[in-house]
Structure 1
Amino acid sequence: MNKPLRRVSVFCILLILALLAWVTWLQGAKAATFSDDPHNPRVSIAKYANPLGNILVGGQPVTGSTATDGTLKYQRTYKNGPLYAPVTGFSSQIFGSNQLESLYGDLLDGSDSRLQNPGDALTRQRPKGGDVATTIDAKVQQAGYKALGGKSGAAVALDPATGKILGMVSTPSYDPGKFAGSGSGDQKAWKDLSGNKAHPEINRALRQPLPPGSTFKLVVAAAALENGLYSSVDEATDSPDPYTLPNTRTVLKNESASAPCKNATIRTALQYSCNTVFAKMAADLGQDKVRAQAEKFGFNNGKLDTPVRAGKSLYPQGMDKPQTALSGIGQFDDTATPLQMAMVSSAIANGGDLQTPQMVDKLTDGGGNTLQEYEPKKYGKAVSRRTAEQLQSSMETVVNEGTGSNAKIDGLTVGGKTGTAQHGVNNEGTPYAWFVSYAKDGKGHQVAVAVMVEDSDAARSEISGGGLAAPVAKAMMKAALS
């Protein structure tokens, strides 16, 4: 072979080797990248080639699939879509998915490796999708949704002993079935949802931290008892009325001038929601001790998964003494989600032990066989049993003799704390109404609930945690323990 021909042959061989290496790299190292690319139409074609598995509430599916005439053969359907949207999230042929629909997408569409067997590999067929069984109690969910009605707000109900989320409501809500397909109607529904100023797409129960107002006084009371500032909820505090914020001339007053807040006990201060007592208490403790207590309840944790990631509830750092005092009444830069405040109430109801909130009970394959079961997981020890019992006693006084009377339920022991948080500069916005609570039936059954009403048609003078939020909590607690 002459020299020029040999050079051409070597060059061609190098091109072939380069092509083989390129193909190998594409099919090996880059295969997962291409298969997971949402812009790859084959991904959606495969996902919707068969009916999806379902998300279950009380063993019954709240999702489904229906056949279409398009390339994507099936699309997602929802039963009582607005009721369960905060739980399921959405699965759309155009706009992707979120929440449980996204987190367990591989299981639901059958591509999870745990669903496959040797026969599937030979036939190159995708197995039937599996199911996601939630911890939601349909009665609790429906009670909360109905009670919130036309209000903008959210509510969370927990089983204190296990951390199971029994109800998670967010209003206004949306119907994920309206944009599950790929038609023009689906696109319009998505556009309408995205442009809705009420933001029904936000999961207010998990993802919208707001000032917790006076419900945060439970955290400050816990810090005072745990750090020995006061020995019991019935010991008189050193609390002037009114109270001048440290190093300022700003005078803090209580909502009711006639409330017995001067040197009040913690029990009385919770009963009448005395700002002066808890502002001074926070200042006396100092921000570090209050923050340490708040973090034991779950504040400042940006990685709380239910498995849906919850928004971070904040107790701030770097405050001066006046700001620390205001933080003690749930103002300044304090923020909390309804889930976070339900965790506070849950830990108190459960003797100080806080369980990690969880919304999924188990995963099953297409035949109903269990693939994974989720056991209760302890978050930590929030307070001692003695402190928990002291706070329980005080919260029951709030319901039986104080601002939480709207949460009373015949035959049940109920404890609670109201809160009305300021909103906007100089409180120009509509205040947020809060209520945190628990109920026990005397047979070992219990439930903890937190409710936040962001907006309603009530007159400003009528906005209060006891008036707007407590009835919602009552409805959910009654449904859980009926």
Structure 2
Amino acid sequence: MSVPSRPRVSVLITPVTLVSAGLSGCSSEQPDAPRVNPSGLAGTADAKLPGSVPPAPKPAGAPGDIRVGGRPVTGSVPSGNAKVPFRRTYTDGELYAHITGYRSMAFGNNQLEAIWREDLDAGKDVVTTVDPVSQRAAFDALRGRTGAAIALDARTGEIAALVSAPTYDPNSFSGYVTSDAIAWKQLNADAGEPLLNRALRDPHNPGAAAHIIVAAAALEKGLLASVDAPTRSPAVYSVPDGSVSFSGDPAHCTDANLREALRYACQNVFARLATDLGAETLAATADSFGFNTEQSNTPVRAFASKWPRQPGNAAQLALTANGLFDTTATPSADGNGDRRDRPRGELVPSPRGHRP
């Protein structure tokens, strides 16, 4: 039988995904602060970097801010409450909600607002790798839809954009009055789950995105000499026991090379390669890409992406290679693995090793 057509979930799987946020103090007077390539935006808020502005003076005791592209996307105003003297404000709250998280006087905090709470409370700014132009483009592309998008720097794995849709405005419940309680209740009752970070915590079958794992294994194990070598794949490939078959576009997928097979999502090619490589080899390659890593930090905790280590039969192995069966991933499939081509030394680590 042929594998039935099914809805696909667009998932981005990369060797490296996220970086720890850097910190800066309340002023820009930090001559010894680490400097990084501004395209990465993973370091201190240095006014000398393009697009960066000096931290604005804050009222005494006000928390630090979270910065995107060198500019704060959070702020604070007096709350009138002696126990919690400042209420958080958000610029473009819906745009950055699943990056900043929320900081509410009544309902706590999450995401970066929680992970860096100690430093923010000390007046320090958290600097992200997010590019505001990329973030806006991803946000606009998902407007009115349900899903997630992540854009990465392929050289470093730094996140340029992270969007989950639908989203929410953290301004709506950052205080402690009746309107905040109403907004919080509505968000939690919303069937669209706007508070769910789909980019980090909503695993699905990755579908054709899993093909890159199979391609990497085929090249690393010498099964294919290059991405342009033919794969000896019929237009319809049946697994050895004949229980299931996989097809691809005959014009592009018959004996396609890896370059074409990846371009046209040729299920027949990757099912055939999986049979030749075997479950153990594929699982090892998937592990090196960060699958089956239980604690994935971005620095926000992401749910683990799963790759079956021992599929029960040839059909399940071929389905796994096509991102089906028990293969699951989030759009930010973790990249804390040991890929040999992973760039080194380009990321500014968390100065205190904060983890959720």
Alignment TM-score, normalising by the size of structure 2:
0.75
The answer as to 2:68 corresponding to 1:57 is yes
Please say if residues 280 and 310 of structure 2, whose CA atoms lie closer than 8 Å, have aligned partners that are also in contact. Answer: no
Please say if residues 205 and 338 of structure 1, whose CA atoms lie closer than 8 Å, have aligned partners that are also in contact. Answer: yes
Q: Which has the higher strand share?
A: 1
Residues 322-372 of structure 1 deviation map (CA, whole Å, 9 limit, x = unaligned):
10011111111111121228x59xx7xxx93256997xx688xxxxxxxx4
Q: Which has the higher contact order (CA 8 A, sep 6+)?
A: 2
Q: How does 1:30-429 map to 2 (within 5 A)?
A: 50-71=61-82, 72-110=84-122, 129-254=123-248, 256=249, 258-319=250-311, 320-340=313-333, 352-353=341-342, 372=351
Aligned amino acid, residue 82 of structure 1: E
Going from structure 1 to structure 2, the CA distance change for 1:279 and 1:362 (only over 3 Å counts) comes to closer
C-alpha distance in 2, partners of 1:260/1:106?
55
* 1:303 Cα deviation from its structure 2 partner: 1.6
Please say if residues 243 and 315 of structure 2, whose CA atoms lie closer than 8 Å, have aligned partners that are also in contact. Answer: no
Q: Which has the higher helix share?
A: 1
* 1:279 Cα deviation from its structure 2 partner: 0.8
Query: 3-state DSSP class of the match of 2:332?
Result: helix
Query: 3-state DSSP class of the match of 1:160?
Result: coil
Please say if residues 156 and 342 of structure 2, whose CA atoms lie closer than 8 Å, have aligned partners that are also in contact. Answer: no
C-alpha distance in 2, partners of 1:317/1:356?
31
Residues 374-404 of structure 1 deviation map (CA, whole Å, 9 limit, x = unaligned):
9xxxxxxxxxxxxxxxxxxxxxxxxxxxxxx
Aligned amino acid, residue 96 of structure 1: G
Aligned amino acid, residue 70 of structure 2: G
* 1:93 Cα deviation from its structure 2 partner: 1.2
Aligned amino acid, residue 337 of structure 1: T
Going from structure 1 to structure 2, the CA distance change for 1:164 and 1:271 (only over 3 Å counts) comes to closer
Query: 3-state DSSP class of the match of 1:298?
Result: coil
Going from structure 1 to structure 2, the CA distance change for 1:109 and 1:338 (only over 3 Å counts) comes to same
- Gap regions ≥5 residues in structure 2: 1-59
* 1:63 Cα deviation from its structure 2 partner: 0.7
C-alpha distance in 2, partners of 1:57/1:272?
36
Please say if residues 79 and 87 of structure 2, whose CA atoms lie closer than 8 Å, have aligned partners that are also in contact. Answer: yes
Query: 3-state DSSP class of the match of 2:253?
Result: coil
- Gap regions ≥5 residues in structure 1: 1-48, 111-128, 364-371, 375-482
Aligned amino acid, residue 77 of structure 1: T
Please say if residues 67 and 73 of structure 1, whose CA atoms lie closer than 8 Å, have aligned partners that are also in contact. Answer: yes
Please say if residues 153 and 172 of structure 1, whose CA atoms lie closer than 8 Å, have aligned partners that are also in contact. Answer: yes
Going from structure 1 to structure 2, the CA distance change for 1:226 and 1:84 (only over 3 Å counts) comes to same
Going from structure 1 to structure 2, the CA distance change for 1:262 and 1:184 (only over 3 Å counts) comes to same
C-alpha distance in 1, partners of 2:349/2:271?
44
Aligned amino acid, residue 111 of structure 2: Q
Going from structure 1 to structure 2, the CA distance change for 1:68 and 1:272 (only over 3 Å counts) comes to closer
1:479 matched residue in structure 2: none
Greater radius of gyration (CA): 1
Aligned amino acid, residue 329 of structure 1: N
Please say if residues 158 and 357 of structure 1, whose CA atoms lie closer than 8 Å, have aligned partners that are also in contact. Answer: no
Residues 94-124 of structure 1 deviation map (CA, whole Å, 9 limit, x = unaligned):
21111111111111122xxxxxxxxxxxxxx
Going from structure 1 to structure 2, the CA distance change for 1:251 and 1:356 (only over 3 Å counts) comes to farther
Please say if residues 163 and 356 of structure 1, whose CA atoms lie closer than 8 Å, have aligned partners that are also in contact. Answer: no
C-alpha distance in 2, partners of 1:331/1:274?
14
C-alpha distance in 1, partners of 2:67/2:166?
22
Going from structure 1 to structure 2, the CA distance change for 1:187 and 1:218 (only over 3 Å counts) comes to same
Going from structure 1 to structure 2, the CA distance change for 1:70 and 1:147 (only over 3 Å counts) comes to same
Going from structure 1 to structure 2, the CA distance change for 1:160 and 1:250 (only over 3 Å counts) comes to closer
Going from structure 1 to structure 2, the CA distance change for 1:357 and 1:212 (only over 3 Å counts) comes to farther
* 1:51 Cα deviation from its structure 2 partner: 2.3
State the superposition RMSD in angstroms.
2.6
C-alpha distance in 1, partners of 2:185/2:61?
27
Please say if residues 160 and 355 of structure 1, whose CA atoms lie closer than 8 Å, have aligned partners that are also in contact. Answer: no
Aligned amino acid, residue 267 of structure 1: R
